[in-house]
Amino acid sequence: MLRQIVLDTETTGLDPALGHRIVEVACVEIVHRRITEQTFHQYVNPERPSDPGALAVHGLTQEFLSEKPRFGDVVGDFLDFVSGSELIIHNAPFDVAFLNAELARLDRPPIESVVASVLDSLQFAKQLHPGKRNSLDALCERYTVDNSARTLHGALLDARLLGEVYLAMTRGQESLVIDIEENDRKQIRVRRDAGTGELVVQAASEEELEAHEEYLSRLDDVTKGACLWLRRSDAS
């Protein structure tokens, strides 16, 4: 089974083309759909100050980072850790652009040439929950992942949270329920037959079955043919 790495970065600003740099990079390993204890985490000296807005997000001061290694000092260990894996990144174009800018400074090939693939969990979430908020905090709330320790953005904590969210989004049971916003939530009752006391099972409508098959097809595309529920459905 393909080794997966959940990755997150913190940066000095929003645009590597303007000279902004990575200040923190963290990776969390997923093997056989379990988050392991194997991680890569490194604060990085960006050799420049963070923009005020970025500093307010991650709180990593220039004084703190000035004593940390430069990206070039840790790039070998980083690439060894992610090599051959599938990267899972929330808003992947942002992090990939920063990683590739750092690699280009070192005359290294882009990250896409080192890993097997890159999955953007933000785009995946938008497919599952169109029109809904799909930030990491919103997804933690939707999938009941405890993010109470997330007062500032930290790459390692955010990678761990995203790993849990990703597993919840792709587990099946949690993802197949109807997504209802809190203010639209309706009470759902289990009905029993008045005479026998047995549970009454209501079959899914044709519309619900079609929506279910459409969801499984999207999930199969994102997981590159690994949707077990679709295989079972075909077998039956």
Residues serving a catalytic function are: 153
Total Cβ atoms within 10 A of residue 10? 26
Q: Return the residue matching tokens 């459409």.
A: 214
Residue 148 falls in which region: left (phi positive, over 0), alpha (psi -120 to 50) or beta: alpha
CA distance 122 to 92: 8
Q: Return the residue matching tokens 């109470």.
A: 148
CA distance 33 to 23: 29
3-state DSSP call for residue 38?
strand
Total Cβ atoms within 10 A of residue 171? 12
CA distance 54 to 64: 15
Is residue 12 within a helix (H) or strand (E), and if so which, with residue range?
A: none
* 14 close to 91: Cβ distance less than 8 angstroms: no
